[in-house]
Amino acid sequence: MPESDSSRSDSSKSNSSESGGSGSDSSTRGKTPDHNRQEDIRKVARVLREGNYSYDQSAHLIKKARRRVGLSPPDRSGSGSPERLSSKEQEAFLNAAYDRDGRTGLQMRVLLETGARVSAFVRVRVEDISFRDLEIRLRHTKGEKPRDVPILSSLANELKLHIGERETGWLFRSRQGGHYSKRRIQQIVKSVAEEAGIQKRVYPHLLRHTVAQRLADEGMREELLQQFLGHEAPETTQRYYEPRRTDVKEAFEEAMSGEAMSGEAMR
């Protein structure tokens, strides 16, 4: 993220030049200037206020702005949230799947992008796909509560080519004409990950964690992610929003800096 690195470099130079002495510089080295951050917050707030943005519109605006400057979601590997594939691992995984053959690539893409449990994935039928609404109905879900999950138009186009003239039947048929077994899909996921050079253990539910964490990182509201994943209890979804320790520390320092500044003013 070149711009982010540049910003940190500029902030560091500004900090050093304003400190005026080596002692002051050592006490502030490595910290983000609080007064700059507060000014940036005011600028963003002004844009939102003058643009009369709603909550959802503001979230979309911030998301687009992050992408414009090359910012990507944080890597939560090793944090309290579930393990998942990184962005590079996701790309390598899908590339390896498509390199094997188009059918395997499409299977892995559907599994990854829908967040479906493997038990629901293997039982998806052709008639469960709505190309008009860009949705796939997952019928064999945990708790036996069918739900519709959205799909991208690019994935819908791939599915149309795969289905051809068929109107009914299993979406992915085995050689025997039935649906794939859960065990077989687990084997495929594992072998594709090995071909992609991914070191960690990869299994179908890890792909579900991956898309869930990605959607959470990209700003999907918690109740919407809960609906997407089909969680009955909100606590199950909350783990994808668990803050990292660095996030907690940064928020603490930001909150306490205002109090510290007030204390300085009273002296």
The residues assigned a catalytic role are 117, 142, 205, 208, 231, 240
How far apart (Å, rounded) are the C-alpha atoms in residues 49 and 221? Answer: 21
SS3 102: helix
Residues paired with 170 in a beta bridge: 125
DSSP letters for 144-167: S--EEEE--HHHHHHHHHHHTT--
On whether the CB atoms of residues 164 and 179 are closer than 8 A, the answer is no
How far apart (Å, rounded) are the C-alpha atoms in residues 103 and 180? Answer: 13
DSSP letters for 210-263: HHHHHHHHTT--HHHHHHHHT-SSHHHHHGGGPPPHHHHHHHHHHHHHHHHHHH
Greatest Cα pair distance, the chain, in angstroms, is: 82
Tokens of 42: 């005011």
